[in-house]
Structure 1
Amino acid sequence: MYLTYGDLAKLFPNTTGIKDNELQFHTVAASSSIVQPKGIYLPIEESGDLKEAIGNGAVAALWNEKDEVPTYTPNQFPVFYTNDLTKGLKDIMELYIEKISKAEEKISTTNFLFSDEKSLKENEATYDIAVMAENLYEASENAKRERRG
């Protein structure tokens, strides 16, 4: 079960490029240097080298609406715009968790890619989707509790 253009268009209606609701994203990557086949690239970990991300397989990007998209970006390349990339990532992850929890058959899944192995060892951090999902869930629950008072 992959994320699709249609899924992301619901979250981020401001887009440019081709509008293909059936386009599937096999990866979500926050670094342009990671191989990201059929990926959606989010320039969170760096200033955002879209050309490198495209070279590594990105077929779309989530972009800060305040930043100019590079002029070399292909006209058909889908770009979703948000005012907060980190919140955008959180929204994508929450949508995906909801989507896979409703799925009857879980054969293919989107991979979330955030850093290379060397950085993981140096940072002693985990980027496991299950751990990230749990952390996002806890943060979401805490925010709900705070809103209720």
Structure 2
Amino acid sequence: MLFYDDVKKLFPETSGIHLPGFTFLVVSNSTSMGMEKGLYVPFGDEINLFESIDLGAIASLWPKNKEVPSFVPNHFPLFMVEDVYKAYIDLLEDYTQNYNQEKWEIMTKFIFNSESERNQVTDVSSSESGNGKGGE
């Protein structure tokens, strides 16, 4: 499982409430499906923070240079990052290096909005980590 504390370690600058001990079941940039206990990653063609919250996201990565929308509740943490896509890749790399199926019964799902984005992320993680795994 991906824990709030793991994400906070990678991206220490946050806004909103801190959720130590919380886990993320899904990490996704897509709001085309449910995101129960999800970490929303706003990059790509569709960026909709409000809808991600409505679909069950409990936190999000957010660009430091972009104003936080006024509708974001204080109990919704934002991890402030320079580049959301790079932060997503860093998170995926960290997760695949530190967790394996034998360690946890339930793994966090990394969901990609399109096949081309999945190939980009898989290529990056394969070349950097050398393990050829995509992210689940």
> TM-score surpassing 0.5?
yes
What amino acid does structure 1 have at the position aligned with 2:118?
A: Y
Aligned mates of 2:121, 2:49 — CA distance in 1:
25
The equivalent residue for 2:118 is 127
Q: Within 2, Cα distance between the matches of 1:108 and 1:137?
A: 23
Matched residue, 1:147: none
1:111 aligned to which of 109, 112, 129: 109
RMSD: 2.3
Which residue number in structure 1 is paired with residue 126 of structure 2?
137
The amino acid that maps onto 2:82 is N
Partner secondary structure for residue 61 of structure 1: strand
1:103-135 deviation digits (Å, cap 9, x = unpaired): 7433100011122xxx54xxxx4738xx94464
Judge which range, 74-83 or 26-35, deviates more: 26-35
Q: Which moved more, 1:90-99 or 1:26-35?
A: 26-35
Matched, 1:34 2:25: no
Unaligned runs of 5+ residues in structure 2 are 131-136
- Alignment check: 8 A CA contact 1:97 1:133 kept: no
More helix by share: 1
Q: Deviations over 1:10-56 (max 9, x none)?
A: 11110011112201000001123332111000111236211101111
Partner of 1:86: 85
Aligned length: 130
Q: Does structure 2 retain, via aligned residues, the 8 Å contact 1:42–1:63? A: yes
| Bigger Rg over Cα | 1
Is 1:69 the counterpart of 2:75? The answer is no
Identity %, equivalent residues: 35
Aligned mates of 1:136, 1:89 — CA distance in 2: 11
Letter in 1 for 2:126: Y
Does the Cα contact within 8 Å between 1:28 and 1:39 map onto a contact in 2?
A: yes
TM-score normalised according to structure 2 size: 0.83
Specify the SS of the correspondent of 1:127.
helix
